[in-house]
Amino acid sequence: MHSVQSTAFQRNENNGLPAQGQRQNAGLDGQAAWTAGLSFISSKSRQRKQQRMSRPLVEINGFPPSAPQAMGRTSNPGLFAQHGQQPQQAQQTQTPAAAQAAQPQQQSFVEQQRALLAAHQQRQAQRQAEQQAQQQPSPLLRQPQPQPAGNRSAQTVQTDAMDDGIGDGVEDNCFANFATDELEAAGLRPHPDKIAETSALASVPVPPVSYKTSFPAEIVTKGLISAAQFMAVRLACAKHETLLKDGSRAGFFLGDGPGVGKGRQIAATIFENVSKGRTKAIWLSASADLVHDAERDLEDIGAKKYRSAGLQLLPLKSVTAGERNLSRKPGWEKGIVFSTYDLLISGEAGRGKAGGKRRASSAAAAAAAAAGAEGVKEEAKEEEEDEFGEGSRLAQLVEWFGGAEYDGLIVLDECHKAKNCLPKEAETNDGRNLKQKESKTSRAVVELQRRCRNARVLYVSATGATESENLCYMERLGLWGEGTAYGSKREFVNMLKTYGVRAMELVAMELKQSGSYLARTLSYEGVRFDLVPVRVTGEFKQLYDRAAGLWQELLEAVKETAQFADKKAKKEMFAQFYGAQLRFFKQLCTAGKVDEVERLSKEALARGQCVVIGLQSTGEARTAAYVAAHGGSEALFESFSFETSAQEILLDLIGKYVVNSGAAEELRKRARELRLPGNPLDDLIDRLGGPSQVAEMTGRSKRMERQPGGGFRYVARNAGSSLDR
């Protein structure tokens, strides 16, 4: 399948990166990170290598990076046990033998990394030899080794031959194909396409799993879920059988990327819990529209005929806030309550003293205390209301679920919505430091987990850890707290900030080998990336030049207005101006590609290929605002020539910051005379055959559609085609 929006990965040396861009052992030199499946591919690799050479390598657990123990298997507590020490302090406590072992730090960067790689490979070979000697089954995930091209599971994708650049020689591959040979040998179906994981994760196996599933065998024998998906479901269910040191039930983090099938894995995990008698589940997601995807995923694994057993979806929005005893409501005795994060934090706050302020929940107050943020007041003393008390949606959901004792499943889908879990400081426009509290969504997610201590929590996100602070809502992974090396999440985050990317990689590897984490992505093996130049027409060039000239005149008008503004207002004015300018030309450049995208798409369709087009925005908000101001949904527009989102950007800016009425009117007139293109998304759908021929996968609810009698009308998406459902 070819994508019309072409992409290219480039290297500084030769502007080429075949296949998947794999470079082996990226986990050993810090090239991969625990983000979206732990992979970063950057064209600035040479610059990063030079930066790494300019700073000393830190020590972890008292071992220098070149020592074999630096990448050895660890278990909690103990991972970064000496995180509070600076590298210099750790070196002072070394024994003479350890000091002698630290000498390789004086070697070149390349020699250090090669020594580390050799030690790591030696340990892998020794571990495999021990397993064979004990006649134990080999782990499901094996360290990639050179194999014939026909061995799909162990084959890795090679990059260009090494050149003589600094740091080369230990980064041939950074991805390895994910192996499910043993499950496939047992009769499970392979995944429809190859999937891969980073070499850092592939270097450690998942733990042996003895968990026996109870859902119908046809789910796996008929291929309703693949072997790779079954592995994640079984691993998550096995982890949910264990308890953390603080008494709460352990959770599982599913970090798979698009195409691996997170929805089916969630549905299969819910099905398994219902089969075990746990007939209540909670499914939180980012958008209300995703309830249709959830229904599809449940139906795809054969759950439709088992709805009466507890596999029916119950949208939380279908009941009013504050309604109590939902378990006694007909049809709500069991099932899967589906809610968005926005709905979770809605509802009335708990009742306190009249006129009193909101009081943070006990869990949120405990989280703030554990974070150790300076300047955070003891909210329980100051505020009088519980934001998640009686009357809130969260309290309603917890009551239906069963509270602290029930051991059902809670799915936090798209869980990155709960980021910003620690207070931060931000600088205001006037230079003051403003303390920003954690987000209400993160407080709600933390509170839900603490009120349901026995629940089986499944975190699901391909971008769950873009920053170290974004891990803080994942309280069930056992990364901090009782029985670990870190007393609080603040200590854990500080360690990650101190040691950087390498620490994130080691934490990810630790989580995987403890059975708490999996992150796979579709393999890019065999994919070709092309940069296709757009043949811009002379008409579009003239349009672009006229737009640039208009923006230049608008800048002069804004400068004239800024003369009468104070420093703060002036700063905000120019920030708004340049932000609007970027949005305008981004929209204009996107519209300029529509002709070429149409041509490429029709050529691909003629060859029998499937075309996937990616756009960065839908333009729904500005289109809806314009339609509302010009007759609403019943209005009929002759063409796409109505004021586009790009034109609206210009008109809004003129209205805000051009005080000279004569100049403002002249600029508005010229802006309308530009005849800017219409919304690229609606334009492409119309050119390629309309909604009956193009399936739209966006979050917008309405769009412009051509009417049989001529003209265009703003209609609901699902009114035009079943492909949108």
Residue 537 has pLDDT above 80, yes or no: yes
The pLDDT of residue 437 is: 81
What percent of the chain is modeled with pLDDT above 90? Answer: 40
Which amino acid belongs to residue 197? Answer: E
Per-residue confidence band for 132, with pLDDT thresholds at 50, 70 and 90:
low
pLDDT-derived band at 425 (thresholds 50, 70, 90) equals low
Residue 79 — pLDDT band, cuts 50, 70, 90? Answer: very low
Mean pLDDT (whole number) for 685-695: 88
Helix axes of 661-673 and 645-657: crossing angle, nearest 10 degrees: 170
- Ranked by mean pLDDT, the top range of 168-177, 596-605, 712-721 is 596-605
pLDDT at 509 over 90: yes
| 25 has a pLDDT exceeding 50 | no
What is the SS3 assignment for 357? coil
In this structure, of 90-104, 176-190, 601-615, the range with the lowest mean pLDDT score is 90-104
The band of 350, judged by pLDDT with boundaries at 50, 70 and 90, is low
Q: Is it the case that residue 196 has pLDDT exceeding 50?
A: yes
Assign 252 a pLDDT band (cuts: 50, 70, 90).
very high
Check residue 355 and give its pLDDT: 34
**Residues in CB range of 57: below 8 A, 6 or more apart:** 64, 65, 105, 112
pLDDT at residue 601, as a whole number: 95
Fill in the amino acid letter for 647.
Q
> Pick the residue with more confidence: 709 or 252?
252
Kindly report the average pLDDT of the chain as a whole number: 75
User: What's the mean pLDDT in 40-50?
Assistant: 41
Q: Kindly report the number of other CB atoms within 10 A of residue 108's CB atom.
A: 12
Residue 580, SS3 per DSSP: helix
Report the pLDDT value the prediction gives residue 240, as an integer from 0 to 100.
98
More confident position, 456 or 527: 456
Q: Is the pLDDT of residue 535 over 60?
A: yes
More confident residue, 175 or 190: 190
Q: Give, as one character, the DSSP assignment of residue 205.
A: P
Instruction: Give the residue with greater pLDDT, 497 vs 78.
Output: 497
Q: Which stretch of 64-78, 245-259, 286-300, 369-383 has the lowest confidence by average pLDDT?
A: 64-78
pLDDT score for 650: 85
| 567-592 vs 594-606: helix crossing angle, rounded to 10 | 30
pLDDT at 433: 59
Q: Is the pTM of this model over 0.85?
A: no
Is 713 a residue whose pLDDT tops 80?
no
Check residues 492 and 618 and name the one with the higher pLDDT. 492
With 0-12 / 13-18 / 19 or more C-beta atoms within 10 angstroms meaning exposed / middle / buried, residue 77 is middle
> One-letter amino acid identity for 154?
A
pLDDT confidence band for 76 (50 / 70 / 90)? very low
Angle 620-629/645-657 helices, nearest 10 degrees?
70
φ, ψ for residue 450, nearest 5 deg: -75, -30
The DSSP code for 426 is E
Nearest to 506 by CA among 62, 23, 29: 29
The larger pLDDT score, comparing residue 105 to residue 558, is at 558
**Closest to 453 measured CA to CA, from 306, 266, 251:** 251
- Whether 90 has a pLDDT exceeding 90, the answer reads no
How many C-beta atoms surround the C-beta of residue 109 within 10 A? 17
Cβ atoms of 677 and 683 within 8 Å: the answer is yes
CB 412 within 8 A of CB 460: yes
Decide: helix, strand or coil at residue 254.
strand
43 has pLDDT over 50: no
Residue 194 confidence (pLDDT) above 50: yes
Choose among 714, 231, 154: nearest CA to 512. 231
The top-scoring range by mean pLDDT among 8-22, 91-105, 368-382, 491-505 is 491-505
Band (pLDDT 50/70/90 cuts) for residue 160 is: very low
**Residue 154 reports pLDDT greater than 70:** no
At 339, the pLDDT band (50, 70, 90 cuts) reads: very high
The residue that leads in pLDDT, 354 or 309, is 309
Q: At residue 581, does pLDDT exceed 80?
A: yes
Helices 227-239 and 262-275 pack at an angle, to 10 degrees, of: 50
Q: How far apart are CA 76 and CA 720, in angstroms?
A: 55
The stretch 544-566 carries a mean pLDDT of 91
The predicted structure's pLDDT at residue 115: 72
| Residues 250 and 476: beta-carbon distance below 8 Å | yes
For the cut 70, the answer to whether the pLDDT of residue 224 exceeds it is: yes
Q: What are the tens digits of pLDDT across the range 695-710?
A: 888 777 777 777 877 7
Q: What is the pLDDT of residue 641?
A: 52
The CA–CA distances, whole Å, from 484 to 254, 382, 479, 487 equal 22, 33, 7, 7
